Amino acid sequence: MVPARLVTLTFLAMMAFAGNSLLCRAALKDSGMDAASFTTVRLVSGALVLWLLVRAGRRTVEGGGNWLSALALFAYAAGFSFAYLSLPAASGALLLFGAVQATMIGHGVWSGERFRKLQLFGLVLALVGLVGLLLPGLSAPPLAGSLLMLGAGVAWGIYSLRGRGQGDPTRVTAGNFLRAAPIAAALSVSMVNQVSVDAAGFWYALASGALTSAVGYAIWYTALPALKATSAATVQLSVPVIAALGGVALLGEEITLRLVLASLAILGGIAMVILEKPRSPEQP
């Protein structure tokens, strides 16, 4: 039986990841917050909380992370924020998750993993779902926002791949957030004529950085060692679903037939790839 503590931690982490989409969309839709300022407040507050968490564990942030990973983290956070200027929470979360998983799967193929027939079918199904979601039409998400979110997903996939085997993940993440924060601040300075911050938007961004990012990642890294790799990957399929339900309940968004069909294709296809163990290069 799975320990109740592990179930609780995993559930809280998935809620936090979906919450990032909901908080960002709410800030950019319902408040006067601009995307660059949201990114800056999110990364700065996340860096501060992660630094405090590391220090509370009597560890040091020095030596954790690196500038290339920080740039990937910034590219994800900035693309994420600017994409949500136009994307609904559900579509954004689905595109982000699909791009992250595609990047990770693509790296595996490039590294020599050989897929079984079911995995190849799943990969094609996911790509068909993605194309179907982006095809022009009344219910299609805006193309510019979609491309920005896909780019954000690729950046997060690269960030995740670079983070493998780098030691204490919370410490590494804290170091990368501390490096990414001044880059985001520089973006805000470069767009100073467009800066717009109000109380509601600021608190949304602060919650996104301090709670659903920093604390969410800390919770996830606490649960991750107890999860099998396939379980860890599969449980993340719930994030776009949670974001979609939250978008309906909290932001008044609508779930279209196109989004439902695309979600089934993308998430179902990715599940086929993840759950079917790939053959190593040595296997026939």
Residue 283 lies in a domain: no
The closest of 158, 146, 147, 148 to 100, measured between CA atoms, is 158
Per-position b or e across 71-97, b if 16+ CB within 10 A of its CB: bbbbbbbbbbbbbbbbbbbbbbbbbbb
Structure tokens at 42: 């999110």
Residue 86 lies in a domain: yes
Residue 274 has pLDDT above 70, yes or no: yes
Confidence band, pLDDT 50/70/90 cuts, at residue 1? low
Share of the chain above pLDDT 70, in %: 96
Confidence band, pLDDT 50/70/90 cuts, at residue 37? very high
Give the domain extent around 148. 4-275
Residue 44 lies in a domain: yes
Residue 117 lies in a domain: yes
Given a contact cutoff of 8 angstroms between Cβ atoms, the answer to whether 64 and 125 are in contact is: no
pLDDT for the residue 277: 57
Tens-place pLDDT, residues 201-251: 999 999 999 999 999 999 999 998 888 877 787 888 899 999 999 999 999
pLDDT for the residue 59: 82
Tens-place pLDDT, residues 160-182: 989 877 778 999 999 999 999 99
pLDDT for the residue 163: 85
Residue 257 lies in a domain: yes
Residue 125 lies in a domain: yes
Q: How far apart are CA 150 and CA 143, in angstroms?
A: 10
Number of domains in the chain: 1
Residue 181 lies in a domain: yes
Residue 280 lies in a domain: no
pLDDT for the residue 188: 96
Bigger pLDDT: 111 vs 18: 18
Distance of CA 203 to CAs 210, 216, 245, Å?
10, 17, 22
Burial of 199 (0-12, 13-18, 19+ CB in 10 A): exposed
Tens-place pLDDT, residues 109-165: 888 888 888 988 998 999 999 999 998 776 789 999 999 999 999 999 999 989 877
Mean pLDDT confidence for 58-68: 84
Mean pLDDT confidence for 59-78: 91
Distance of CA 130 to CAs 6, 155, 265, Å?
32, 18, 8
pLDDT for the residue 280: 40
pLDDT for the residue 115: 81
